[in-house]
Each structure stands twice: as C-alpha cells, then as structure tokens.
Amino acid sequence: MSTDQVSPEHQESLSSRSRTRFNKLQKRLRREAGQAIVDFSMIESGDRVMVALSGGKDSFTMLDVLISLRRNAPVDFEIIAVNLDQKQPGFPEHVLPEYLEQTGVPYQIIEQDTYSVVKRVIPEGKTTCGLCSRLRRGALYNFAEKHGMTKIALGHHRDDIVETFFLNLFHGGKTKAMPPKLLSDNRKHIVIRPLAYCREKDIQAYAELKGFPIIPCDLCGSQENLQRKMVKQMLNTWDRQYPGRLETIFRSLQNIELSQLADRELFDFRGLEALRGHSDTEQDAADRTQTQVP
C-alpha cells in the first residue's frame, strides 16, 4: 500500500471534501516534519534510522511521513521499523507485521516481557507508565546498538513537547521540555523527534483518514498519567479560548534569553560588573559568550 494514499477500505468512503482535507494534512505534516529535520540536522546521508513503532497514531504517522520524505530527500538514508512486543495481555501480535509487510519497510519485532516486570514491581493501582517507559527505552537502545542504528526516531509531537514543559514547570521545578534532538545519557544514541513541529490534532485527523490499524495504549490496564492529563486539558482549553497561544508557547521554547532567567550555572551574573558602560553591541557579544553551554 502506498503511503501517499489512504487504505483501500477507506478510499471509497472518502468524500471529495475529505480527500481535499487529507491532501492538505499530508502536505502540512510533510512540510513541518521536513522543516524540523532540516532545522535540527536530524538525518544525514548514510543514516540508519530506527523508527520506534508502538502502534499508536503518532508513530504510524511518523513512519508514513518519513517514508514519503525519503523519496525526495537530498540525502540517502535507511528506515527500519522496530516494535517492542512487551507481552501485554491481549496485544494483537499480527497487526503490525501485516501492516509493515504492505509498506515494504524492513522491520523487526522485539519480544521482551517487560509487562511481568512492571506488574511485579509496581503496586496495584499505581501508575505503571514511568517504569514501563524506562524498560521500553532500554530495550530499544540495546537493539539500536547491536544493529548499528545511527538515529532513533520517536513519535512525540509539538503538543507532547509543550505538555512536558508544563509538567516540569509545575511538578519538577525545572525549565525543561522534550528536545527535538537528543544525545542519550550514555552518549551512545541520537534520538530524534521528526514530528516536533506537528500538532496532535493534525496527526489525529491524518491517522483517521489513513485508516491506520491503531493498537490501544491501555492494554496493560495501567492508569492514565493524571498530571499529564490535567496539563493536556489545560492546554486544550487555552487552544479553544485563545487560538495561537500554543504556537506562541512553543516558539518561546526556541527563543531562550538566559540573562532574563535565574540560572547561575548557565549565565555569569557575577561577571556583569565587567560589562558596565559597554555599548549594546559589546553587551550582546558578551551575552552570547557567557551563555555558551559546553
């Protein structure tokens, strides 16, 4: 099945208006993902990009967009789709292999019973998402290292990034979000988020029009992260009441002025006396020098 078209079972049911909407969404997502890839130098010639495919709308859309972008990309790179089967009860093991066979993309299903580990460690009724995420990340990192993957692509989008910013602000006491490109803590892996500029509502609409075989994320019976849910509700309310606010918040994450914050590790406040009386140009140059992070 071509990634440029909706699935056959959806093709006939789409009205001309839906087709027009689909084409606009497809162009927008490709443009935004392509721009993010260029802005953050996410993919280079010769890269082996491991696309982490969970079975959710975000990872399906990311894979679809990357496949289409690769056709006209100025650099040559590989795409390998990887899914971690965590042995949750009821997980439909046939869905992803069947879909990936249609795309023609090389893929690998990793089988690792992290579900049993999580159920053994986390008390009944407590949120399992944190430990589950760490175990999943470890499995993906190990696979990437063993198979020579140069980039690991995750399906987080702009809304995820903004939500994470507020979660850290409200509950973590940190001005921190989710970067479009990241060097792992062990300095062995480059993680990229090609959908960093894409809105969740566009991804949701695109996934519905494409008819992706979505696998629900509640198979393990875990509780939804209440804090993230509350932040999402807050942002959705803002988006309805104040159109454009979320775009402005995201732009602010790309326009940091360290001299206007209060982190003594990242800005030399003690050294300001030496700049007294200098011109604005000299001040700006000094600011840039001071705020360089090793």
Q: Could you tell me which residues come within 8 angstroms of residue 53 by beta carbon, excluding any fewer than 6 positions away? A: 59, 60, 63, 81, 82, 83, 96, 100, 107
- What is the pLDDT, as a whole number, of residue 100? 96
Q: Is the same domain home to 162 and 276?
A: no
- What is the pLDDT, as a whole number, of residue 294? 40
Q: Is the same domain home to 265 and 150?
A: no
pTM of the model: 0.86
Q: Is the same domain home to 202 and 282?
A: no
Are 137 and 155 contacting, i.e. CB atoms less than 8 angstroms apart? no
Task: State which residues of the chain have pLDDT below 70.
Answer: 1-14, 125-128, 218-225, 279-294
Q: Is the same domain home to 272 and 230?
A: no
Number of domains in the chain: 2
Q: Is the same domain home to 44 and 120?
A: yes
- What is the pLDDT, as a whole number, of residue 276? 85
- What is the pLDDT, as a whole number, of residue 52? 96
Residues in the chain: 294
Q: Is the same domain home to 130 and 270?
A: no
